[in-house]
Amino acid sequence: MQIAEIIRRIERAADPRHAAAWDKCGIQIAGSADACDKLAVGLDPTPATVRAALDWGARFILTHHPLLLAPRLPDRRDAYHEVLRLTLSSGAWLYAAHTSLDVRPDGPAGWPMRDFGLKNVCVLEPTGPLPGHADPARLPDGLREMGFGLAGDLPAPLPYGEFLDTLAGLTGRTFFTLAGRPPENVVRVAFCPGSGSDLAQAAAKARADILVTGDLKYHQALEAPIPVLDVGHFCLEERMMRLLADTFAEELGPLGVEVRHFPGRDPLAPCLVGGQTWRKPE
């Protein structure tokens, strides 16, 4: 498949015109390859991910996070320099679908909404109407906006402990960080994959009992109007990219393009008393 067609299909799912103004979605490194028969998908453009993708034979690497938000010279031998070296020497392309993907509730960013079976869903920070090609089968009735974060009602109220157990099963995590007093029952939940703790006010306005997100800061925790459950930046978005890879595998596989998800690794891990560091087994 021609590179231009790969990009067209990516941008149908994550149009860079819908990205946040500060973001750097789109082509990160233009390759010399004209066609692609192997598409690699991952969360971060780290040297490890890029190297693994290229060793597999990828001609196009799609990540969620951009290579950089502010361009700079490759004037020192660091991770940025290594990604440039690996990618440019291979002829492969590197592309980032960041906030352009986050705003699409019908896409993989909306997976908690679908897994929890949320009803009466609203967008916490709307950015505009959904495009006409949005898949209505992946949206609750009445949701016609895109934007950052979602809130919706659970099919039935859950005691807080059961809600945590369900969330742990969905995310694969065994610990979270809570700011605020936990609700006795969770009826309406808000979530934002990645870093969404600045949406706490919007979640409260949407009558959510709790906000699930990552990257909660100290002063945000002090001022949060509702409980905020920090599940980490990694887990919600790692699954999002795995689902995106599955979607493209189904779409592009019959057209001769092999798609593979390259798992990332959470750079943060709990450090236990005694200096031991726990990590989930690979």
Amino acid of residue 49: T
In SS3 terms, 100-121 reads as HHHCCCCCHHHHHHHHHCCEEE
Contact predicate 227/221, CB 8 Å:
no
Contact status, residue 191 vs residue 111, Cβ threshold 8 Å: no
SS3 176: coil
- In angstroms, the CA 107 to CA 39 distance is 18
Q: Is 261 annotated as a binding residue?
A: no
Residue 133, annotated as binding a ligand: no
Q: At 142, phi and psi to the nearest 5?
A: 95, -15
Other residues' Cβ atoms within 10 Å of the Cβ of residue 235:
18
Torsion angle of the four alpha carbons 175, 181, 183, 186, in this order, in degrees rounded to the nearest 10: -50
Q: Answer yes or no: is 65 a known binding residue.
A: yes
User: What are the distances in angstroms from CA 259 to CA 45, 75, 148, 241?
Assistant: 17, 33, 27, 12
φ and ψ of 226, to 5 deg: -135, 165
Length of the chain, in residues: 282
Residue 78 annotated as lining a ligand binding site = no
Q: Are strands 119-129 and 145-159 parallel, antiparallel or unpaired?
A: antiparallel
Backbone angles phi, psi at 62, to 5 degrees: -110, 120
98 is in an annotated binding site: no
Binding-site annotation, residues for a divalent metal cation: 64-65, 102, 233, 237
Binding-site annotation, residues: 64-65, 102, 233, 237
